[in-house]
Amino acid sequence: MIYDKVCLETFLEKQSQLFDEPVAESLEEADEFLDECMAQVFGSLKEVKRYFKENLDASGMSDEELLEACEVFGLPDGRFLIVEG
């Protein structure tokens, strides 16, 4: 997947919500890291919910809890980046 600048900058800024130590320090490193861990970008909360249902145990989680999950990075343009640590 090709990650755009919005995804990369958001991940760099917020990576501490998922990792104790930085895993990337530049846009290039962020792109490589996200590619390696197969991070995905979703366009809506509905898509995020479907992903969690199919891939992670999200039973009983509210929409708010899903959005607050450490794997979910809300992007400024309304999309969501999901990174499994």
Residue that has been written with the tokens 């800024």 in this structure = 13
Provide φ and ψ at 64, rounded to 5°.
Answer: -60, -45
| CB 23, CB 15: distance < 8 Å | yes
Q: What pLDDT digit, counting tens, does each position of 64-75 carry?
A: 998 899 999 999
Q: Is the pTM for the entire model greater than 0.85? A: yes
For residue 82, list its beta bridge partners: 40, 72
pLDDT higher than 90, residue 80 = yes
